[in-house]
Chains A and B, each alone.
Chain A
């Protein structure tokens, strides 16, 4: 299995909107010498984004990946949510959508939730915040 060697990582810059360039100390690329794991499923993933501009992940969401009937299943055990796909990318995108939808629907009906959903809503609020644009 080929191990990719990054040839060069160009130093990142941090720039303010008024183009005030700030120098950042960045070590150059470091190779990972051991071969990478071959298969990503089954495995775990920490979701740091829901790919939804309305929502921001503030605490990573643990997702378990496993195979079921030739499909990849992504499960967020803390939220009892699932995503499915023919491969890992589809399954991750599906669970991102599912969690975003769960957040938005619970937010909408947050004043009339049963005990189980109150608990789920509370868990979600620790992990995700609504992005408020001025």
Chain B
């Protein structure tokens, strides 16, 4: 007899934080996340370019089964350049959940705004943003 898949939950979670950073590690003992080099702008010497990065996000008020979709969007072109999906089961909506996603080099084909959109069960919760700009003189970030 086939076992029914659990039904996705329609409780709309609250996105507490979404950040992009250079590096991150999770303490295997406690599960605590350490984020290094948080940024929302990058100066690029020459386009196109690509760079690896981490996406961190935290949600609360979620319970049940969710399909999380991370959609990487070049906003100026209204174009999706990549996505990742994961399914999770969350047990207590009174507790927060945080996630860390190590991304392979993200392609930045030209200057503009790039968004890391977070959707749960296709519901758009928010995004982390990176503005890629041509380097004025020397590379810097902030």
Contacts and interface: CB of A to CB of B under 8 A. Distances in A.
Contact of B70 (A6, A22, A38, A58): A6
Interface stretch (B1-9, B39-47, B99-107, B133-141): B99-107
Contact of A7 (B77, B91, B92, B102): B102
A37 B81 contact: no
Contacts of A48: 12-13, 119-120, 123-125
Contact of A49 (B14, B76, B99): B14
Given A14-B90, A27-B86, A4 B75 contact: no
Given A11-B31, A48-B124, A60-B123, A87 B84 contact: no
Nearest to B24: A10
Interface in B8-37: 10, 12-15, 24, 26, 30-33
Contacts of A80: none
A14 B96 contact: yes
A2 interface: yes
A24 B115 contact: no
Contacts of A10: 24, 26, 33, 99-102
Nearest to B92: A14
B113 A89 contact: yes
Contacts of A4: 72, 81-84, 103-104, 106
B129 A32 contact: no
A134 interface: no
Interface in A51-84: 51, 56-60, 72
Interface string A88-101: 11101000000000
Nearest to B50: A2
B113 to A, nearest CB: 6
Interface stretch (A39-47, A103-111, A112-120): A39-47
A37 to B, nearest CB: 6
A22 B103 CA distance: 26
A88 B75 contact: yes
Interface in A1-37: 1-16, 19, 21-22, 24-32, 36-37
Interface of A: 1-16, 19, 21-22, 24-32, 36-41, 45-49, 51, 56-60, 72, 86-90, 92
